[in-house]
Every structure is written in structure tokens, then in C-alpha cells.
Copies of this chain bind each other. A is one copy, B any other.
């Protein structure tokens, strides 16, 4: 599927498969955030040796999905609001820059491809029930393509390889299906226009605003949840 990590091909080694499996489990919350990871237990569960499991754990650590302490063990990261805001700051900086670079480096073909994708999303959105789809897959697809369009391996690696799993984790666990669908779509459209005009400065500006808006939206939601739970 389109959301898979473009950094790696197909999983070949068993550690790869276990990594993929655990990745989904953590992102979806089947392995609870903040919970301790018992190597003997998980190794038995996946029917592999501890060496192989530890290899998988190392990769999860690279995605910032687990944290390890020497001689103590691994824990799944906590999903705190502070940490989410920190991630948004990093995204604002990196995706903004990726967008600028995309305006400079994307091929004409890639831009055409992207416009086609947005048209698809527009259609799906017309059939109202597509909103949920757009929220999840569509939005991520858009951001992925911009990042890949930067043609900057470092950017791609950090954003697609590491950070996006965390972003997805927060989306799923905090249940973020915000009412920003149509608005976000407009923003996406304008970003593409800027890229199409090869206007890097504007593209960066728009992407940064797009992300800040999304972040503010989350803050608002969280504030609402807080007042609700008070009542």
C-alpha cells in the first residue's frame, strides 16, 4: 500500500517481518504505548530467538517507537501531548524545507502525477463517505509525495523512515479525524500550485502554515476534550 515506507523494499529477513509486525502493533496500539517490552515473552510469542527480536527492536528504536536503557530494557514510547507538539515543530521545519526543495527538484512528471492524485481525492471527497479515507491515507499520501519530491535522501529518510510512523501512531491513538478535510484539501491544492510554479519560497511558507494549522486544530481538540471531561 502507498503508506509503506519507501525507504525499504520488501522485508526479506525474519527480523524485517517481525519489525513490520511490531511496527503495526505499536502504531495501532495493540502493544500499548508506554508499556514495557519483555524480550523473552515477545520472542516466544513470535516464535523467534532473542537475537532476532533484538534486531527488530533496534529498528523500532530507529523510528523512535521504543526507547532502550542499558541493562534495563525497552519501553514503547509514551504518547504525551508535549511530545506530539514537539513532533509538529520538527515537521513544520522539515516538511516546509522539503516542500521548498520539491518546488526546485520535482520533475514535471512527478508534478503531473501529484495533480492527478489530488483530482482523485477531490472525487472521493465528493462522495462524502470518502472523507474518512482522505483523512488518513490521502493526507499522508500527499505529504509523502512532497517529501519524496524533494529528492533529498536525508530529508526522505528522517521524515518517511522515522518520523511518519510516530505521526501515524498519534493519529490512531488520539483518534484524529478532524473536520479539516475540505480546508486541508484547499491547502494541498495551493501547495501544489506553488510547486508547479517552481516558487520554493511560497511552497515552504504554505506548507509550514498548513502544518501549523493542523497543529492548532489538535491543540483546540485537546482543549475541548479537557473541558468535556471536566463537565
Interface positions of A (Cβ within 8 A of B)? 12-13, 16, 51, 54-55, 58, 61-62, 64, 70-71, 83, 86-87, 89-90, 92-94, 96-97, 101, 152-155, 157-158
Contact = CB atoms under 8 A, between A and B. Distances in A.
A97 B101 contact: no
A155 B97 contact: no
B13 A83 contact: no
Given A92-B97, A101-B89, A70 B152 contact: no
B89 A154 contact: yes
13 contacts: A13-B70, A16-B70, A54-B55, A61-B62, A62-B62, A64-B154, A86-B154, A89-B97, A89-B101, A89-B154, A90-B152, A93-B96, A158-B158
Dominant secondary structure at the A interface = helix
A75 to B, nearest CB: 15
Contacts of A157: 64
Contacts of A55: 54, 58
Contact of A153 (B54, B61, B83, B92): B83
A83 B156 CA distance: 13
Contacts of A62: 61-62
Given A13-B70, A16-B70, A93-B93, A86 B158 contact: no
